[in-house]
Amino acid sequence: MKINGVRIDPTFAEAFPMKATRMIITATNLKWATIAAQTLTGFATSVIACGCEAGIERELSAEETPDGRPGVSVLMFAMDDKGLAKQVETRAGQCALTSCTAALFAGVYSDTSIPLGKNLRFFGDGYQISKVIGGRRYWRIPVMNGEFVVEEKTGVVKGIGGGNFLILARTRLQALAACEVAVEAMRRVPNIVMPFPGGVVGSGSKVGSKYPFLHVSTNEAFCPTLKGLVDSQLDPEIESVMEIVIDGLSEEDIRTAMRVGIRAACTLGPENGICRISAGNYGGKLGPYHFPLQEILA
């Protein structure tokens, strides 16, 4: 299968179940809402060492937010409710509370919920007050720049982590250019985030290592400098491979994002060094969600 001359490998991306929540961060303007969101979702590329995976979903107009101010929607994913709750509460306190003019609200509601401002209110040292509006409790915490408003709880829903595809190119700059085009297109897809820096992974991994203390290690089959030394998956002309990882709220969300991103990357074509599109999987042993590239793109 080829799209605009770019070969699509007959393989699949493998993903696994996660728990997810959405939070809405608002501020006096979009600049400061974005600063708060970027800080809150920092160091959240992989559950392997970060405890969660998170990213900015999209910007929100004042008409879309609970307090009528510009805002940013973020998604956060973890392996279970407990892990998600810990990350949400820690990041809310260390990143949102400390951000100038910020407020923090739930962006999703469900039968299962975790604390958002429930315990954060104690920072008010007894001066905090709460209001119940529409059956939802909000806390007003006095802070030096005014007050910090935070919703008491946020919902927990099912999520999926690890959707992905690989872009194989003749040079590193060409691979990066294709990734940038793909990420820009995928950012218009709702209910997904790309948690790695700039949405792109420069050091794709495999499960396991020769060192027993490591859970993951470099994916040598796709490392250009190891061609000739390992069982390489790379053609002679390929000198760079970059990965885009997608976390989403449903299988269809990830399928849509992969379709949009791959098609966008393929618009550059072989004339711009884009040779192949592949995906990362572990023979079906990592997770129950499989995303066959050719089926998604058919």
As a whole number of angstroms, the distance between CA 23 and CA 108 comes to 7
98 pLDDT higher than 90: yes
Contacts of 247 (CB under 8 A, 6+ apart): 18, 20, 53, 55, 75, 77, 159, 160, 161, 162, 163, 192, 193, 194, 195, 254
Looking at 126, 157, 188, the residue that finishes a domain is 157
Q: Which domain holds residue 250?
A: 2-14+159-297
What pLDDT shows up at residue 284?
85
Residue 3, both tokens:
């799209």
As a whole number of angstroms, the distance between CA 169 and CA 6 comes to 10
Same domain, residue pair 169 and 149: no
Looking at 136, 157, 178, the residue that finishes a domain is 157
Amino acid type, 37: A
Write the pLDDT tens digit of every residue in 43-77: 999 999 999 999 999 999 999 999 999 999 999 99
Q: What is the DSSP letter of 63?
A: G
Same domain, residue pair 10 and 37: no
Degrees, nearest 5: CA angle 135-141-142: 145
As a whole number of angstroms, the distance between CA 191 and CA 157 comes to 12
Q: Looking only at Cα atoms, what is the longest distance across the chain?
A: 67
What pLDDT shows up at residue 61?
97
Overall domain count for the chain: 2
CB 40 within 8 A of CB 186: no
262 pLDDT higher than 90: yes
Same domain, residue pair 201 and 150: no
Same domain, residue pair 94 and 184: no
Nearest by Cα to 170 from 232, 228, 241: 241
Same domain, residue pair 201 and 232: yes
Write the pLDDT tens digit of every residue in 129-162: 999 999 999 999 999 999 999 999 999 999 999 9
What pLDDT shows up at residue 245?
98
Predicted model pTM: 0.95
Same domain, residue pair 84 and 184: no
As a whole number of angstroms, the distance between CA 182 and CA 264 comes to 5
What mean pLDDT comes out for the span 75-101? 98
Same domain, residue pair 150 and 174: no
Same domain, residue pair 29 and 132: yes
Count CA within 13 A, CB hemisphere, residue 75.
Answer: 23
Same domain, residue pair 166 and 149: no
- CATH number of the CATH domain containing 26: 3.30.70.520
Looking at 157, 182, 198, the residue that finishes a domain is 157
Task: Point out which residues pair with 290 in neighbouring strands.
Answer: 14
What pLDDT shows up at residue 36?
98
CB 272 within 8 A of CB 174: yes
90 pLDDT higher than 90: yes
- Residue 238 banded pLDDT, cuts 50, 70, 90: very high
Same domain, residue pair 110 and 137: yes
Same domain, residue pair 82 and 177: no
Same domain, residue pair 44 and 113: yes
